[in-house]
Each structure stands twice: as C-alpha cells, then as structure tokens.
Amino acid sequence: MPKTNYYYFTEQPYTGYDPALQEQYPALRLNLPNTNYDPQIASDLYNRYHDEYQVADDVGFDGIMINEHHTAPFCMQASINITGTVLAKITRRGKILMLGNPLPVVDNPLRLAEELAMIDCISRGRLISGFVRGGGVESLVNNVNPVYNRERFEEAHDLIVAAWTRPGPFRWDGKHFQYRVVNPWALPLQKPHPPIMVPGTASPETVVWAAKHRYPYVVLGSSLEQTKELIAIYHETAKEEGYEMKPEHIGYLIRVFVADSEAKAQAEGHNFFWQKGALNKQIREWMAPPGYATVDVAGIRRLRAISKAFDNQAYQEAQDNYQLILGTPDQVITKLRHVRDLLGVGHMCLWAHDGYMTHEDTVRCIELMGKEVLPALRDA
C-alpha cells in the first residue's frame, strides 16, 4: 500500500444559468453570453464553496485541490491564486494544492512568482504550486498565441523558479519574457521553493517534462488504462534520468461521492454529468487550436485511441470502469483502495462535489469521507 495523501476537490461550478442554453451553445463556453451570469448567485456560491473547504480541512483531508478556468461555467475560479489566498486564511492544516496556474496565458510570470510566494508565506508554508499548459480555450480567451503554448510554459516555469531561488537582482532575457530587474520582495517560505506538481490528461510530452524535473504528475481522471500508460512513461523517463519513480511522483483525480445510503449516492452521482458532455462538444479549434498540440506523434495517437471521455460513458459504465465511485463509505473504500493500489499513487484527489449537489449533501459527503473513508484508506 502506497503512502498516499488525500485531497478534496470541486471545480466550483456556476450552476445559475438556464440549462436550455446548451441547445444553442453546446460546449457551454467561449461564446456562451455572460449576460447569463448572475453575480448574486455567484456570490452565494463562492462563499458556500469556501465553507465546504473549511469542513474538508476540519475533517482531516491532507489538502484541498483547486484549479482555474476561463469563460467556463463549470469552474468559477478565474484566478486560482485568489482561491489559494482565501484557503491560506480560512484553512489551518491542509495543503493548498494548485493544479494549477496556467503558465502560458500569463504575461507577467514574475508577478505570479510574487503572488505564489505571498500565498506560501500567508499559509505558513502550505502551498503546492502546480503548473499547467491550459487547454486551447484558456489561450484563446486570454489572447495568448497557442503556437507558443509549450515554449511559454517552460520559460515561465524557469523564470518563476529562478525568481524564487536565485538571489536578486538579476536580468532575464528570454524569448517570451524579459525583465531588467528580477528582484522580488516576496519569497516563498518553503525552501528551496514550494513543491511543484504538474497535472495532465493525455500528453506524453508533459509527463516526460514532469519526470525530467522530478515533479509529481497528477492524471486528471483519465481512464485507468490510459493512466497506466502515462505512469509507465513517467517510470521510463525516471529510469533514463537515473532515479526510481515512487508513489509520491504520481497522483490521480477521481470522481467520488459518499452518502449514508447507496440509493442517495447513486442519485447524487448524476451531478457529475450535469453539463451533459459540454466539454466534448467543443470544436477541435477550441480544444487544440492549430499549433497548440503536437499532432503527428505516434504515442499521442495511441493514447487518443485508448482514451474514453468521461461524459461519453454511460452511468453504470463509468462506475464499472472506476471513473466514478458512488456509495456508502464501505462501498467506496473498497473501490478507492483498488484504484489507489492498482495505480500506486501517492496523491489521490477526490472530486467529491459537482453540479447541483446541495450544500447539505456536500457537507455530509465530506464528513463521511473524513470520519470513515480516509481513516480506513490510511489503515489499509
């Protein structure tokens, strides 16, 4: 049994729009008019989600995973650093697991380094700073050229780590970023710098990059078969780099909902399909604009061939495939153990809220996890 950390996750969905809009805007993003956004509803939801984070922290999760998306009602976090800052103040124990800041869409990575350093200091060293490339839409809405996505990801990363670790002042003359003086007066509490993690779903290039930097790679809910392939790539790369991959290098995000009865859990589980496959209805030009993705690599074609989008699975099929785990504590403990031990992951992110689940049901789920599921998983 791997030593595993368990994190609570919700995307913070904005549920206040009329679902009938999907007939006209199948993908529910980018061009979905924001006249359908009600700040009053958003205000209530933000505060509710923050309350639920506090419950998760109190009941014993090892941390809270947060993320960022733009022009997307499925995720209200337009800035992961704002949620991170809130967590720094309203939680006391758990890690703040950012998965993550979309580096390529940031025009000023030095400011990002400063903000993250502040969050690390304010939270007294609880930050885990994940970095992502971001899907195509994130580049489009932030108007950053998708062609430079990978270059900007790598350069922004190098700059942030340098800003955290290299004594200033120094100059930065990169291809995409230039600074006459890098000398931030906000430095992280954790040394040499906060842990970095990299999430992904399918790109072998990203796994290789993470493994070369010895950063944990977190698979975001891809099928178990595909996840095993990605882990194998990490394992191989680690060997080439002269070290052995350990459970702490791999994480997995999985949808799971716990209730007092199986019937209740089965009823609530449908909320994980609340957007009716909207993300898969994005056109190719949004998901992977020309120049964004490597298209002619055999490994990518193979991974695509075995991938199966969550939303394209039937309800029972998703459960049979361990993509969705629902039930009473005893039922989910067995299944989560199976996934954890099969993949050998040191980080499990439990996506335990989505869609129209009520605050009461969500809190009950978090409590059952904290009181029954997590202790059992830590025992065996």
Which span (13-21, 156-164, 263-271, 281-289) binds other proteins, by CB under 8 A? 281-289
**Among 100, 102, 104, 146, interactor with other proteins by CB under 8 A:** 146
Among 38, 225, 240, 285, binds other proteins (CB under 8 A): 285
Looking at beta carbons only, is 181 or 295 nearer to other proteins?
Answer: 295
Query: Rounded to an integer, what distance in angstroms lies between the CA atom of residue 133 and that of residue 154?
Result: 9
Give the total of residues touching other proteins (CB under 8 A). Answer: 18
Spell out the residues 6+ positions from residue 77 whose beta carbon is closer than 8 angstroms to its own.
11, 12, 66, 67, 68, 69, 83
Amino acid at 318: A
Are 238 and 245 spatial neighbours (Cβ–Cβ below 8 Å)? yes
**Interface residue with other proteins, options 85, 145, 201, 331 (CB under 8 A):** 145
Helix (H, G, I), strand (E, B) or coil at 39: helix
Q: Which is nearer to other proteins, 41 or 295 (CB)?
A: 295
Q: Is residue 306 part of the contact set for other proteins (CB under 8 A)? A: no
From the list 1-9, 114-122, 292-300, 351-359, the region that binds other proteins by CB under 8 A is 292-300
Q: Which residues 184-223 are close enough to bind other proteins by CB under 8 A?
A: none
Q: Is 147 in the site for other proteins (CB under 8 A)?
A: yes
3-state secondary structure of 35: helix
The piece of 144-152, 182-190, 313-321, 362-370 that touches other proteins (CB under 8 A) is: 144-152
**Using CB atoms within 10 A of its CB, is residue 52 exposed (0-12), middle (13-18) or buried (19+)?**
buried
> What tokens appear for 123 in the block?
């939270």
Among 30, 42, 121, 309, binds other proteins (CB under 8 A): 30
DSSP 222-272: --HHHHHHHHHHHHHHHHHHTS---GGGEEEEEEEEE-SSHHHHHHHHGGG
* Contact set with other proteins (CB under 8 A): 30, 140, 143-147, 283-286, 288-291, 293, 295-296
